[in-house]
């Protein structure tokens, strides 16, 4: 995690991977959220429309590495509802949705 002065700073995160069907096709969704947050309604990151569980999990692992780089500089991720990158996530979701159709 990060070290700010003499204080160790960190977050407990969890990855959630969920299988669902869309128009008869198997799809996978993954998100990253606070481990203590019991309501998964506003994660720090998500990806939707993955074709396999491995694809969803690999995307989440790559994002955890990106978060680790944020932590190393003393920054912390924002929730999707607060993040300017949410538009980019929606574009990614849209691209995956159309490629899966």
Cβ–Cβ under 8 Å, residues 40 and 78: no
Alpha carbon 83 to its chain centroid, in Å, reads 12
> For the segment 16-69, what is each residue's pLDDT rounded down to a tens digit?
999 999 899 999 999 999 988 888 789 999 999 999 999 999 999 999 999 988
Instruction: Residue 93: name the closest of 36, 41, 22 by CA.
Output: 22
Q: How many CB atoms lie within 10 A of CB 6?
A: 5
Name the residue ranges covered by the structural domains of the chain: 2-100
What is the model's pLDDT at position 41?
Answer: 86
What gap in Å lies between CA 50 and CA 90, rounded to an integer?
Answer: 14
Higher-pLDDT residue of 1, 61 = 61
Instruction: Residue 31: name the closest of 41, 21, 22 by CA.
Output: 41
> For the segment 72-92, what is each residue's pLDDT rounded down to a tens digit?
888 888 888 887 554 444 444
What is the model's pLDDT at position 55?
Answer: 97
Cβ–Cβ under 8 Å, residues 39 and 62: no
Residue 9: band (very low, low, confident or very high) from pLDDT cuts 50, 70, 90: low
């Amino acid at each position: 995690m990060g070290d700010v002065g003499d204080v160790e700073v960190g977050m407990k995160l969890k990855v959630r991977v969920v299988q669902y069907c869309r128009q008869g096709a198997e799809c996978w969704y993954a998100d990253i959220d606070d481990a203590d947050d019991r309501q998964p309604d506003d994660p720090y990151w998500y990806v939707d429309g993955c074709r396999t569980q491995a694809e969803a999990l690999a995307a989440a692992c790559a994002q955890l590495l990106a978060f680790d780089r944020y932590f190393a500089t003393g920054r912390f991720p924002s929730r999707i509802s607060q993040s300017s990158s949410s538009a980019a996530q929606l574009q990614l979701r849209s691209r995956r949705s159309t490629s899966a159709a």
